[in-house]
Copies of this chain bind each other. A is one copy, B any other.
């Protein structure tokens, strides 16, 4: 059965490594898995008072995530944690109370950095939120992609064989995880 995955990118910079990595990984998806980026740039900061008359951007975002079968997060680390823009998107999607769009959707987490550590802090802080949001999250392979600047080509493909093979395996494993833990 085909599945569609909403991809959330944790950086708003137009040429961010996370966006380029997300685009590269979309190309590595196995048959039956389609992926598309859901934009988080225009989401006003979450404010519960706003639920009386929700901003259109909140409503659109919630609908986009709701219709997806699973979610893939591709994110840098900001200040040893999840970027505020990505956390805000998570907060917006989790509300109003009882209407979270995340609930039950299988999730994958891909953190990355030009440096060596590969966004470990963002990766695990994000995973802690996914517990609360009841998203069955793929454990292995973990992806902390260091040196991301050295593996991306101008056309947003993975130029290093070992990395491409690793990420292709990740996508295949993630597809199987969605099949096993997602909605029937």
Contact = CB atoms under 8 A, between A and B. Distances in A.
Interface of A: 11-14, 16, 41, 43, 45-49, 78-92, 94, 116-118, 120-121, 124-125, 127-137, 139-140, 142, 144, 146, 180-181
B88 A82 contact: no
Contacts of A84: 45-46, 84-92
A146 B90 CA distance: 23
Nearest to A118: B117
B134 A137 contact: no
A157 B94 CA distance: 31
Contact of A136 (B130, B131, B139): B139
A132 B142 contact: yes
B129 A80 contact: yes
A91 to B, nearest CB: 5
A132 B89 contact: no
Nearest to A89: B84
A49 B48 CA distance: 29
